[in-house]
Chain A
Amino acid sequence: MSEMMSSVSMFFLYAIAAVFAQNAAFSRALGVSRLVKLVDDSAADSAVFCLCLTLVQLLSAPLAYAANRWLPAGLGWAAAVRPLVLVLCSAAALGLVVLAASALRLPAAGRIAQTLPMATFNCAVLGCMLVTTTQSFTLAQTMGFALGSGLGYTLALLVVLEAQRKLRNRQVPGTFRGLPVNLLYIGILALAIYAFTGHAAAY
């Protein structure tokens, strides 16, 4: 019973850490290229993207955990083939999401199918799996971190989207508009998180 409680508390602890202190976008810049693109593109469906990303992360995390146990760390080739194995795990997760979306006959199934490749094969998903596998997380920690990373990315996107009204102000110099001012804003938020935690996330 106490072991189960310990696993549950680990799950939530790692999920909360991944949302705030170890936020994928602010502390490791994972998926920032996609984030600034989503922010700049008014036609992009950010909600569907974040939903797909969180689902893929959550489904690929246990697969990556199992695959990592199968890959012996002592061998020289493990580090070389790890990205390939993890990409296959995320591709399997993509397949599961597609199957679930078509089985449930979701009204947004078409949009999900369109967004899924972008939400699956990106740095946020692979980065999360690399962190959990290289730092030898337990299954509960892995699942918590994967869920927290997805939610953290969604939070980061919401925070940057919310600031767009002010960042698109005419008083912002022309050369700073768009990507530079977004990066400056994310940098200030990253500094605030660094001040809150007191250390940079390990990579």
Chain B
Amino acid sequence: MWENRIRYLNENFARISRRDRVFLNNPVIATGLGLAPLIIAATSGRNALMLSAAVLMLLTPTRVLAGVVSRWVRFRALVYTLTSAVVYIGVYFAMKATFGVQISYLGLYLPLLVTEPIILKRYERATPERWTTSLRKGLLTTAGFVLVILLVGMLREVLAVGTVFGAKVTGAPVLPIATLPSGGFVVVALLCAGWRGAVNYVKKWVNMEAKKYQ
């Protein structure tokens, strides 16, 4: 059973990693999508949670609706962006009802999600996708982005203030610069490097395990 699973993983690793949007081919780590809100606005767990909620409500509906509309309309970039901006109207009111005035902490990075490459990236491909594919890929991409943004938000809060969602973790701030844009770039860079190292380790481990059974 285990042997078959390892063999299957080793033989199909490239295909599996291409489809996996959460760990092996995370959109943020692998292609650097969605960096603007991640670097500037995700300075705390609360901000990261609000951004996650917004992306959750915006990404998949935009992808599905724009995917359907772009079957008939030729100018795909405009279709995707306008769809995103229209969906954002609902998202804004939902965010306001859920988080109240706290959404002002996100500043221009909440409306900026409308043109975030993680939401609009699909328009660059000429082939249209079925709505079921859009739904599946949209949900997977959202899961990958939410995982990274929550990690970055909590990590930066711990480093800069010593708390996670307001709860005290360390005695004193370790790296106050983590809330600044420069700190955001550095934290995301280190997270990317660590994540890619972990993916390479998994790949190597699967390969080594498969060799044992040959």
Interface residues of A (CB under 8 A from B): 26-34, 36-37, 77, 79-84, 87-88, 91, 117-118, 120-123, 125-127, 130-131, 134, 173-176, 179-184, 186-188, 190-191, 194, 200-203
Contacts and interface: CB of A to CB of B under 8 A. Distances in A.
B197 A175 contact: yes
12 contacts: A29-B36, A29-B181, A37-B32, A81-B89, A91-B81, A117-B123, A121-B81, A123-B112, A175-B197, A180-B192, A184-B185, A187-B183
Q: Is the interface of A mostly helix, strand, loop or mixed?
A: helix
Contact of B88 (A84, A176, A180): A84
Nearest to B95: A80
A121 B115 contact: yes
Given A87-B82, A123-B116, A127-B36, A82 B111 contact: yes
A180 B195 CA distance: 10
Contacts of B81: 87, 91, 121
Contacts of B76: 117
Interface residues of B, number: 53
B108 A91 contact: no
B85 interface: yes
Contact of B180 (A118, A130, A182, A200): A200
Contacts of B117: 33-34, 122-123
A81 B109 CA distance: 15
Contacts of B186: 183-184, 187
B107 A83 contact: no
A200 B185 CA distance: 14
A127 B182 contact: no
Q: Is the interface of B mostly helix, strand, loop or mixed?
A: helix
A142 B112 CA distance: 18
B197 to A, nearest CB: 4
A179 B181 contact: no
A145 B95 CA distance: 30
B61 to A, nearest CB: 15
A131 B109 CA distance: 11
Contacts of A194: 180-182
Contacts of A175: 193-194, 196-197, 200
A121 B180 contact: no
A83 B114 contact: yes
B176 interface: no
A84 B112 contact: no
B115 A32 contact: no
Contacts of B89: 77, 80-81, 84
A187 B89 CA distance: 33
A29 B32 CA distance: 12
B120 A79 contact: no
Nearest to B104: A79
Given A80-B93, A190-B182, A203 B196 contact: no
B40 A28 contact: yes
Contacts of A184: 185-186, 189-190
Contacts of A77: 89
Contacts of A203: 40-41, 107-109
A81 B34 CA distance: 22
A105 B81 CA distance: 28
B13 interface: no
A125 B115 contact: yes
Nearest to A200: B180
Given A33-B35, A123-B115, A180-B189, 12 more contacts: A28-B40, A30-B112, A80-B89, A80-B92, A88-B82, A122-B117, A123-B112, A125-B115, A126-B112, A175-B193, A194-B181, A203-B41
Nearest to B117: A33
A186 B183 CA distance: 10
A170 to B, nearest CB: 16
B141 to A, nearest CB: 14
